[in-house]
């Protein structure tokens, strides 16, 4: 395999930053390096409001995508003679699609898998997609089955007949909304020597705003593909959903949405789409929008309006990708996803869907980061930090062997919790021979042992108050789970009624049937910490107290 420079083989993918499943990386091609996440602006060789040269020089985007089938059908020898880079006048990285989307749109195309693959090699594509068979949104299981099997057959046929080793080939995963077929397709494709993998034909899913379905599709695909290879989400072009896709582990995107929206006189933003006719003030500070008023653009002729909108739309898309990279680098990707989820109810629903996949997110997310956790509400229960604590406290943690009684205190405003005046009042009054283990119950984690509360992420978590009911329910269940799992004989709980109410008390009462002796102390907010501590110590002395 040829080498770029001294040490980077074509197709190498090096990760520099990670957050949740999102990552910032470097993908090496024969024409240069792509920093991921990356959006390939799709260039239509027949009609294009922004030239490839402008995409490179003005918008500073070094990698685009074009359609090899349309090039072959309409320009043929002119492209093979000069190569795709010279033909497009693009001094950068060129990825080529095979025309499979045209199959989805029109039913068939006039080329064969080996014919289009040979053409992609001849024109010098840096990244090339095999001629797969997309699974449409409304296709039944029989048709979906065919698309999976035929795509696998075409993958084998293409790989067996390649003549160049400097083209990075993409292997699409098919199956549509049939998750078991996606899993099967991904497992089989993972065994093949592709440099990049792709989730095929999700465009119609996204057009219908079925982002919760898209979450299932992406996670199912990721579970069965090599974690060290990039994943390309075909046809994802609206900036408001990039963050969710990156959080789930997508590295590459492509879309002509910026140009298609411009033809429809639509103005993209990172939170949605506006009609040009309805805009009174441009909500953007890009060079275009900051120099013109909407009424001036409306006075342009149609080609000028479309060019203005296409360039703005692409700037917004590229800017959002850069914002996401920075969020990954800072460890703030989840927080950005929460902000974007407020853009549309369908995105909020998709973010909630992550709770079903929290174990997978936790398994592959970094265990530490340089920033703390901002917890806004119950959608954050799917965060890897929350799931990881639940796993570790139940599987790895062992309570102090001498502990006979568990004292549960509510989380405090002071951090770490053991530096609060209430904790110090109680701990200083307990002798070495006292067999009491002090823990805290804290949103969103559950039980936090006092000897661990200064470790990440407990002291580094900021909460939105008041705590929402779903989070209270989650914490309550984790407390009950902990009580039942550990072999304390007595449990004394200090309850803050203004924060936790009766739910925690009632759930702990239910542990009586398993032989647990539970005493509840209700905190009086008018009382000082010293007085509350005295009341708690008094109840600790009576280990026979039972609710």
Structure tokens at 419: 């530096």
Angle at alpha carbon of residue 133, lines to 128 and 134, rounded to 5°: 95
| Rounded alpha-carbon distances, angstroms, from residue 259 to 101, 242, 385, 396, 407 | 17, 17, 40, 53, 62
CA 300 to chain CA mean position, Å:
39
Q: Which own/partner contact pairs does 283-287 have at CB distance under 8 Å and 24+ positions apart?
A: 284/312, 284/315, 284/316, 286/312, 286/315, 286/316, 286/319
Ramachandran sector of residue 377 (left: φ over 0; alpha: ψ -120 to 50; beta: rest): left
The dihedrals phi and psi of 398, each to the nearest 5 degrees, come to -125, 125
Q: First-to-last CA distance in the chain?
A: 72
Instruction: Please report, for the chain, how many H helices and E strands are present, in that order.
Output: 22, 22
Identify which of 219, 132, 104, 119 has the alpha carbon closest to the alpha carbon of residue 161.
Answer: 119
Phi and psi dihedrals of 23, rounded to 5? Answer: -150, 150
**Which 8-state DSSP code applies to residue 468?**
P
Q: Which of 97, 216, 251, 453 is catalytic?
A: 97
For residue 182, give the nearest of 228, 204, 151 by alpha carbon.
151
Token pair belonging to 212:
């919760």
- Reference 232, options 245, 241, 220, 223; nearest CA is 245
- Kindly calculate the radius of gyration of the chain based on its CA atoms and give it in whole angstroms: 28
Q: Is 97 a catalytic residue?
A: yes
List, as one string, the DSSP characters of 153-222: HHHHHHHHT---SSSEEEEEE--TT-HHHHHHHHHHHHTS--SEEEE---HHHHHTT-HHHHHHHHHHHH
Tokens 């299932």 found at: 216
Residues marked as catalytic = 97
């Amino acid at each position: 395999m040829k080498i770029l420079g001294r040490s980077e083989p074509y197709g190498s993918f090096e990760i520099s930053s990670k957050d949740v499943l999102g990552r910032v990386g470097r993908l090496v091609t024969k024409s240069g390096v792509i920093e991921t996440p990356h959006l390939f602006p799709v260039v239509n060789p027949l009609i294009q409001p922004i030239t490839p040269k402008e995409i490179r020089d003005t918008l500073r985007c070094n990698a685009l995508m074009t359609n090899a089938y349309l090039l072959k059908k309409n320009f043929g020898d002119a492209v093979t003679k000069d190569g795709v880079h010279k033909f497009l006048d693009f001094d950068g990285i060129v990825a080529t699609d095979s025309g499979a989307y045209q199959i989805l749109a029109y039913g068939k195309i006039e080329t064969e898998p080996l014919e289009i693959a040979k053409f992609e090699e001849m024109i010098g594509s840096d990244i090339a997609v095999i001629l797969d068979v997309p699974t449409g949104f409304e296709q039944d299981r029989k048709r979906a089955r065919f698309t999976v099997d035929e795509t696998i057959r075409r993958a084998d046929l293409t790989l067996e007949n390649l003549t160049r080793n400097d083209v990075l080939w993409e292997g699409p995963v098919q199956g549509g909304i049939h998750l078991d077929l996606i899993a099967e397709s991904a497992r089989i494709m993972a065994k093949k020597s592709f440099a990049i993998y792709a989730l095929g034909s999700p465009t119609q899913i996204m057009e219908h705003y079925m982002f919760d379905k898209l979450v299932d599709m992406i996670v199912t695909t990721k579970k069965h593909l090599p974690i060290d290879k990039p994943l390309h989400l075909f046809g994802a072009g609206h900036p408001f959903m990039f963050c969710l896709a990156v959080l789930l582990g997508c590295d590459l995107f492509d879309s002509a949405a910026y140009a298609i929206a411009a033809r429809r006189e639509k103005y993209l933003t990172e939170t949605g789409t506006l009609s040009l006719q309805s805009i009174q003030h441009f909500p953007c500070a890009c060079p275009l929008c900051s120099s013109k008023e909407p009424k001036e653009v409306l006075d342009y002729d149609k080609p000028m309006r479309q060019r203005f909108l296409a360039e703005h739309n692409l700037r917004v898309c590229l800017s959002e990708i850069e914002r996401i990279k920075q969020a990954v680098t800072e460890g703030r990707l989840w927080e950005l996803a929460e902000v974007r989820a407020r853009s549309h109810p369908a995105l909020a629903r998709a973010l909630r869907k992550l709770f079903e996949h929290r174990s997978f997110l936790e398994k592959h997310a970094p265990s530490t980061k340089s920033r703390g956790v901002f917890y806004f509400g119950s959608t954050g229960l799917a965060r890897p930090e929350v799931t990881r604590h639940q796993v570790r406290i139940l599987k790895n943690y062992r309570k102090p062997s001498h502990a006979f009684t568990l004292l549960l205190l509510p989380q405090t405003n002071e951090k770490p919790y053991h530096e609060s005046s209430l904790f110090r009042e109680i701990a200083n009054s307990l002798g070495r021979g006292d067999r009491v283990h002090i823990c805290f119950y804290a949103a969103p984690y559950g039980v936090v042992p006092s000897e661990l509360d200064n470790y990440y992420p407990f002291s580094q978590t900021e909460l939105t108050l008041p705590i929402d009911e779903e989070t209270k329910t989650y914490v309550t269940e984790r407390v009950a789970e902990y009580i039942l799992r550990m072999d304390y004989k007595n449990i004394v709980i200090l309850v803050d009624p203004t924060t936790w109410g009766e739910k925690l008390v009632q759930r702990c009462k239910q542990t009586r049937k398993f032989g647990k002796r539970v005493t509840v102390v209700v905190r009086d907010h008018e009382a000082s910490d010293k007085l509350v501590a005295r009341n708690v110590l008094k109840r600790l002395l009576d280990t026979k107290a039972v609710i």
